[in-house]
Each structure stands twice: as C-alpha cells, then as structure tokens.
Structure 1
Amino acid sequence: MSGPAPRPIVVVNPNSNTAVTAGIDAALAVFRFPGGPAIECLTLAEGPFGVESQRDAEAVVLPLGRLVERRPDAGAFVIACYSDPGLDLCRTLTPAPVFGIQEAGVLSAMARADRFGVVAISEASIGRHLRSMRRMGVLERLAGERALGVSVADSGGDAAFAALERVGRALVGDGAGAIILGCAGMAPQRARLADALGAPVIDPTQAAVAMALGAVLA
C-alpha cells in the first residue's frame, strides 16, 4: 500500500525574469519522476530583473522570507541564485530544509574533483562569491573564479556560449577539475559546456535539487 505523496520541492528564482525561471524548470525535468515530489519553479515577482549586485541580493531577502512563510506545504526549498540571498533568514522561517545553490554547487564540485572553478556573470559578482566560500572554509579547494561579463538574462543564450567556453577552458588551465556555473541563468549551457571541456560542469540548481530530493525522500 503506497504512502502519502511526498511534499513538493519549491525552487525560487529571486529575479523577476520569467525566461530564467523557464530555463531552470527545463534543466530540472530530469529530476521529475512518477511518484516523486513535484518540483515547482517560481519567479519572485518583487525581485530585480537580475540579481547582479550586493544591493540586488539584499533587496530580495525579505520577499523570499515572505514566500517561504506562504508555503508551509513545501517539503524543501531551493533558492536559485548563486549569491544564496536570504538563505539564513529562510532557514529560520520553516522547518523544511532550505538549500542555496552556491553551497550546493560547491559541495557537489568538491565531490567530483580536488579543485574547482567558478564561472561568474561579472567581476562584481566575484567578491560576493568569495565571501561565501571563505565562510564555508573551502577557498583552498578553489582553483579560480573568472567572469563572463554578461547579464543574467543573456547568460543562458547562444551568444554567451563562446565566452563561457573560453572562461571554462581558462579555469581548467588554472587547475580546476570541475566547473561550477555561477548563475542559475546559465542552466541551459551545462551539457554543451561539459561536452566542449571534457570535464564535469555543475549546474548548481540541479545540485541543490538533488540534495532536496534526498532530504524529502529520506
């Protein structure tokens, strides 16, 4: 006799660009299976068009917290922004596990390789990412982080791929055995980049949802 259906995993894109949410949703299709938890991808309407600065990251914290409070039915939450905005707050507002994609991406990359590299959308993003990794205590495993110089909105498109491949190859040259896509908007690029580099490429939203699945199903 089957038990109750598992509670849904709620994946929140903290920017207001629905095209980014659609790309995330498509990348998560492989995690949906009969009898498994629903994976809902939501767009934070109050968010900026792209979370590209410290101000943007701070601005979405309280709206994210309110969204979490409105979803007591959720089995787990994933904050699909590589700055992990609102992660600490949201964890205080729900008994459900809350996963940030930067934390999940870094942990997954370290499970695949001794040293990892990160592709950032811009130079301005790198400082935020380094502060988070310093708190995680993983900087010794970081081979490098390099910027594409594109917007969140453009990072998943064909026009950005040449820059993404160039930066990925540079990170491999830096000693990275695995590459993390440092923006949820890059989700559509993962498989193509992995083929081009011949190295593991981590979509951090996929990494976070994999962890959320484990938490919900266990």
Structure 2
Amino acid sequence: MTAPGPILVVNPNSDRTVTEALSRALDGFRLPGAPAIECVTFEDGPTGILTEQHVQEAALAFGAYAAARADAGAIISACYSQPGVDLARSLTSVPVIGIQDAGVLAALARADLFGVIAVAPGSIPRHLRHLRRLGVDGRLAGEVALAEPVSVAESGRGERSFALLMQAATALAGKGAGAVVLGCAGMSGHRRRLEAELGLPVIDPTQAAVSMALGAILPDAA
C-alpha cells in the first residue's frame, strides 16, 4: 500500500519563531516509518491571528493551500481559532483538523471539566462560539486570558510568560478544571513544565491534532 503523505502543520501567521516552536514540540512524533511532519509558515500572514479580520483572511489562504497540496496525508490549521478548516474540508479529501477541536477533545478524554488559557481577552468570544458549535460548552470550567499582553511568539518562552501561564492555569484549577488546554499554538514551549508544576494534564492542541492525524492515516498504511 502507498505510504501516506506528510502531515502539514500550518501556522497561518508570518512569525517563523512560532513555526519553529511548533516543530520542536512535534519532534516526538517524528518516528521511523511514520508520515513526515512539515511545519509551514504563511509568509504573507499577520504576525498573529488576533482579530476576526485576521481569521477570515487566514481562512482563505489556508483553503487555497490545502487545495494545492494534493500530496498531503493530513492538514492541520495550527491556530487556536483554526481558520479555514471548514473551507479546506470542502476543497480536499484528506483529513483537515483544527487544533481547537483536537485540544478540547483531548482534554475531555482526560477530565470531566476543562479550562482554556487564551493569549488575549479579545479571542475568548471567538473560542466560546466554537465550543457552543461543538456542544461542549457545558463542560468548560472557564477560559482565562493572560493577565498582561504577550505576543504569540513570546507566549511559549521566558520566565515572564511562564508565570502568566501559571497564574491563568491556577485560576482555572480553582474553577474546577481537571485539564487545561493551551489556547494558543505559541504556548507549546511551556507545556511540560506547566503540567509538572500545576499537577493537572496540560494539553498542547497542536500535539493533540497531530496525534489525531496519525490515528486517521496510519491504519491505511498498514
């Protein structure tokens, strides 16, 4: 049987440091015989997907990219607002996965209630709309934004951003969250340490999406 094509992990913003952080977080999935994992930067995108306009513009770019990559085994929208997932699914037959979907589903597999850390308050209404669409808002303990402004690239590195993540995660635990989802792909660099210090499962949604993609395409490669 033909080997599956690569898993394409698409960062829809133009910050290559975010893409590099995503790639490092996925090194453990690069196994012998498994599909390649390619992390892609949209060079023409904004430096962060922060507004509804950013989301809509990124959706068109993601859909066009998905349609052009007929060689893909699976395609992942690696932004928590997961721009373009529905559009891409209409343009390609390969699995298309958004990291919010994957992160939330992974959290629900680990705990009764989950919480989400957002990089900025303005993104929370957009996230909540999607949770209502998924029908899982009843299991949301809460979503908390970082208390101080942090760029997407900075959110996963440095002591300042870690302290802000820990503050938000502790607040979510106080609300009853049994698992915490990192609500920005850039936060991945702090996942392991945050989980160890918090004492609860901390879900990197991009890792969750790649796990889901591997589960979807590897059985066909057997």
TM-score range, shorter chain: over 0.9
Structure 1 residue 150, shift from structure 2 partner: 2.0
DSSP-derived class of the 1:93 partner: coil
CA distance in 1, matches of 2:87, 2:43: 19
CA distance in 1, matches of 2:95, 2:218: 12
TM-score normalised according to structure 2 size: 0.95
CA distance in 1, matches of 2:210, 2:171: 28
Give the residue type in structure 1 aligned to 2:77: I
CA distance in 2, matches of 1:142, 1:120: 13
1:93 correspondence with 2:94: no
1:154 correspondence with 2:154: yes
The question of whether the paired residues in 2 share the 8 Å contact of 1:65 and 1:89 is answered with yes
* Per-residue deviation, residues 118-151 of structure 1 (Å, max 9, x unmatched): 0000100100000000111111100000001422
Structure 2 partner of 1:199: 200
Q: What pairs up with 1:24-173 in 2 under 5 angstroms?
A: 24-148=22-146, 149-158=149-158, 159-173=160-174
Structure 1 residue 4, shift from structure 2 partner: 3.3
Give the residue type in structure 2 aligned to 1:202: I
The question of whether the paired residues in 2 share the 8 Å contact of 1:118 and 1:180 is answered with yes
- Of 151-160 and 9-18, deviating more is 151-160
TM-score normalised according to structure 1 size: 0.97
Structure 1 residue 84, shift from structure 2 partner: 1.1
Give the residue type in structure 2 aligned to 1:33: L
Structure 1 residue 54, shift from structure 2 partner: 1.1
The question of whether the paired residues in 2 share the 8 Å contact of 1:15 and 1:49 is answered with yes
CA distance in 2, matches of 1:117, 1:45: 32
CA distance in 2, matches of 1:102, 1:153: 18
* Per-residue deviation, residues 30-49 of structure 1 (Å, max 9, x unmatched): 11111110000000112100
DSSP-derived class of the 1:95 partner: coil
Q: Identity of counterpart residues, as a percentage?
A: 57
CA distance in 2, matches of 1:126, 1:69: 29
The question of whether the paired residues in 2 share the 8 Å contact of 1:117 and 1:176 is answered with yes
Runs of at least 5 residues in structure 1 that lack an aligned partner in the other structure: none
CA distance in 2, matches of 1:153, 1:116: 24
Q: What pairs up with 1:1-20 in 2 under 5 angstroms?
A: 3-20=1-18
Which stretches of structure 1, 4 residues or more, deviate above 3 A after TM superposition? none
CA distance in 1, matches of 2:195, 2:115: 13
Structure 2 partner of 1:187: 188
Runs of at least 5 residues in structure 2 that lack an aligned partner in the other structure: none
CA RMSD of aligned residues (A): 0.8
Give the residue type in structure 2 aligned to 1:156: G
